[in-house]
Amino acid sequence: MSGVKKQPVIVLDGPAGAGKSSIGREAACRLGLPFLDTGAIYRAITFFMLRDGIAAAESPELAERLREFTVSFRNGTVFACGEDVTEAIRSPGIDKKVSSYSALPMVREFLLGIQRDAIAGGLVAEGRDMGTVVFPDADVKIFLTAAPETRARRRYDERIARGESVDYGEILEQVNRRDTLDRSRDVAPLKPALDAVVLDTTDLSFDEVLENVLEYAARL
Ligand code: DC
């Protein structure tokens, strides 16, 4: 897009189901930038810890497993420790546990370097603490939000489209539970950066949200 400076860092933060991934991915594509899905990284760590029976608490075992952890993205596929975990990290089991592992300072500290290493050449990054902690000097900071019912409905529609059998009430409860945990943790809680634009997408279509994000990027 003309007008966007070289190597911009554009970050999207917000609660579950606010549209960060879908909007971020499309915005990155339109702007010719890489997309960093940090939620997928926290999910991948959760997947490995659960599989290895390592509890969500700071421990020498957790530290050792973290040292072995690697993550990479290729054409929409997520590889963790060389294994394709794209589908596995979206399971309801991971949804339930990911906030507990994400709240651990040891996990967040470890991931800081991995996330910052992705910045060369600019990027669009999505998460919970992109604008507040990981990329505090980002050029554009947008906090996407929407009513919990709307966010739960979007997650419900995504899962139905994938052929899963899901219950809307359960998804709503889980979205609320996860947001409460993510907002109330001590380290890097979910909140808008002081210099972020807060965009409520409750009554906006995908294209309208995308247009807003691209407009902010074009101001660079
Ligand atoms: O965006 P998501 O639903 O894939 O994120 C999964 C969880 O990962 C979310 O509930 C909290 C955690 N997370 C985080 O703590 N910090 C980030 N930057 C990204 C995700």
- The pLDDT averaged over each successive group of 10 residues in the chain (220 residues) is 74 95 96 96 97 97 96 92 95 93 97 92 96 97 97 93 92 94 96 97 96 94
Mutate to test the pocket of ligand 1, among 87, 101, 180, 182 (most ligand atoms within 8 A of CB): 182
- Quote the distance between the C-alpha of residue 17 and its chain's center: 10
- What pLDDT shows up at residue 5? 67
Distance CA 183, CA 121 (A): 31
Nearest to 183 by CA among 11, 12, 15, 13: 15
pLDDT for res 3: 62
Query: Dmax over Cα atoms in the chain, in whole Å?
Result: 50
Amino acid 120: pLDDT: 85
Does ligand 1 lie within 6 Å of residue 38's CB atom? yes
pLDDT score of 7: 87
> Is the CB of 155 within 6 Å of ligand 1?
no
CA of 40 to the centre of ligand 1 (A): 7
Which domains are present in the chain? 9-218 (3.40.50.300)
Give phi and psi for 137, each to the nearest 5: -100, 20
pLDDT at 162: 86
pLDDT of residue 220: 84
- What is the spatial distance between Cα 138 and Cα 140, in angstroms, rounded to a whole number? 6
Side-chain half-sphere CA neighbours of 69 within 13 A: 24
Q: Whose CA is nearest to atom 2 of ligand 1?
A: 39
| HSE-up of residue 167 (Cα within 13 Å, Cβ side) | 4
Return the pLDDT at 76: 87
- Centre of ligand 1 to C-alpha 3, Å, is 31
Phi, psi of 33 (to 5 degrees): -115, 155
The strand ranges marked E within the chain are 9-13, 35-37, 71-74, 77-80, 83-84, 123-127, 140-145, 197-200
Whose alpha carbon is nearest atom 16 of ligand 1? 128
What pLDDT score was predicted for residue 4? 66
- Ligand 1 pocket member 125 (CB < 6 A): no
Q: Is the CB of 46 under 6 A from ligand 1?
A: no
The pair phi, psi for residue 92, each rounded to 5°, is -60, -30
